[in-house]
Amino acid sequence: MGKDKLRRFTEISTFKNVLQLTEGHALKGNWLAKHFKNNHPVVLELACGKGEYTVEMARLCPQKNFIGVDYKGNRIWRGAKTALEEGINNVSFLRIQIENIAEYFTVNEVSEIWITFPDPQPQLGREKKRLTSPRFLDQYRQILQPGGFIHLKTDNDDLYTYTLEKIAAQNLKLYVSTNDLYHSEYDNEILSIKTYYEKKYLSNNKNINYVKFSFE
């Protein structure tokens, strides 16, 4: 690990808006009462990377609490530091493996889930690692409130198609699907948030796919 990565790992352990690994277990069922100390909805961004999307959603929606989830602490450092420096108090970060997400939230504790530009895991043997695979959907079902939305933004056309197939196979409720978000009727303030990598995709004329669905 490089010196800069090591420094960031050390620094996030001092951040009040970052919980790592088993630290988050104590907040299961108590994120509002013990951590955010309000009654606002809890929204997750999974595979949040540097937390750009998480932080920007928190800026735009102060009436909601946002938690960016990722395993790479040196990436989380950027979003967490920005939130601390700018006094954005309705955002935190959880450094865990996403496949263990149900260990950190109780039934109906999460109001909404965002999955923004995840690793598409294109190899057939890695299907179980796709964040919209049945394995992960089962985890989300345990913690999401009835009617709570799941959003997927991705530049990967195959992941978009795969997700639509899983929604149909599980008879889930599909609200929105488009393979060209920014030339559709669905674009809005939240969906217009663009990360560093999304800007690169767009500069290369890559279409952006978007899906919005729920379990009921």
Q: Where are the domains of the chain?
A: 3-214
Q: Pick from 23, 43, 45: which is nearest to 34 by CA?
A: 23
Q: What is the mean pLDDT of the chain?
A: 95
* pLDDT in the model for residue 9: 81
* pLDDT in the model for residue 197: 85
* pLDDT in the model for residue 24: 94
Q: How many degrees, rounded to 5, is the angle at CA 103 between CA 153 and CA 60?
A: 40
Q: Burial of 133 by CB count in 10 Å (0-12 exposed, 13-18 middle, 19+ buried)?
A: middle
pTM for the model: 0.95
pLDDT surpasses 70 at 2: no
Which residue, chain included where needed, has tokens 């559709």?
A: 184
Q: What is the mean predicted confidence (pLDDT) over 60-72?
A: 97
Residue 22 amino acid letter:
T
Q: Pick from 28, 25, 23, 75: which is nearest to 47 by CA?
A: 75
Strands 144-154 and 209-214 turn out to be: antiparallel
- Percentage of residues in the chain having pLDDT higher than 90: 88
Tokens of 9: 């790992």
Given 4, 70, 119, 180, the catalytic residue: 119
- Helix, coil or strand: residue 71: coil
Give the number of other CB atoms < 10 A from CB of residue 109.
20
* pLDDT in the model for residue 6: 81
Which residue, chain included where needed, has tokens 């999304």?
A: 198
* pLDDT in the model for residue 60: 97
- Contact status, residue 58 vs residue 91, Cβ threshold 8 Å: yes
165 CB-side CA count, 13 A: 9
Q: What is the mean predicted confidence (pLDDT) over 16-26?
A: 94
Strands 173-178 and 18-20 turn out to be: unpaired
**Which of the four pLDDT bands, split at 50, 70 and 90, describes residue 144?**
very high
> Topology of domain 3-214, per CATH?
Rossmann fold (3.40.50)
* pLDDT in the model for residue 5: 79
119 catalytically annotated: yes
* Higher pLDDT among residues 187 and 39, named by residue: 39
